[in-house]
Amino acid sequence: MFYQHTSHDITIRVEVDYVPPEAHNHAPETRHVWAYHITLMNGGDETVQLKTRHWTIMDARGQVEYVNGSGVVGETPVLRPHDTFSYSSGCPLSTSSGSMSGYYMFETDEGRPLKVIIPTFSLDLPNARRTLN
């Protein structure tokens, strides 16, 4: 399953995979880890640069963590018209489900800021049934 959203002609596509415990070496209290794969696609006519990321991570108990920082995976990619950039990262949780949402701040060549929404995506165990209220 993938999640996708477009803001300011920039499309963010997210795919999520659960990482089984035997495949990661996180601390014991971190029982669950998800890998997320993001593709940024510039569908506009302007060159843009990703400057910052802003994440809201919520676990199954409603505990919220905010993660803010420069770029992604150590880079601040420049996307010319119709360029793409992909990266992967991970999210450890002590609960068996959660969600992530947020936004990126991009800047055009002229210095105009663009807030680009990252679609909210769920972090669930494989084959888990989720009931939405």
At 111 the three-state DSSP class reads: coil
Percent of the chain with pLDDT over 70: 89
φ and ψ of 45, to 5 deg: -105, 5
Tell me the C-alpha distance between 34 and 60, whole Å.
14
- pLDDT confidence of residue 88: 97
* Count of all residues that appear for the chain in the document: 133
Question: Is pLDDT of 129 > 70?
Answer: no
Is the torsion defined by CA of 68, 69, 73, 75 positive or negative?
positive
User: Average per-residue pLDDT in the chain?
Assistant: 92
Whose tokens are 């165990």? That residue is 125
Confidence of residue 26 (pLDDT cuts 50, 70, 90): low
Whose tokens are 């601390």? That residue is 27
Amino acid at 67: V
Convert the pLDDT of each residue in 49-75 to its tens digit.
999 999 999 999 999 999 999 999 999
Question: Is pLDDT of 3 > 80?
Answer: yes
Tell me the C-alpha distance between 1 and 73, whole Å.
23
Confidence of residue 127 (pLDDT cuts 50, 70, 90): confident
- pLDDT confidence of residue 131: 53
Q: Which of 35, 34, 19, 40 is nearest to 118 (CA)?
A: 40
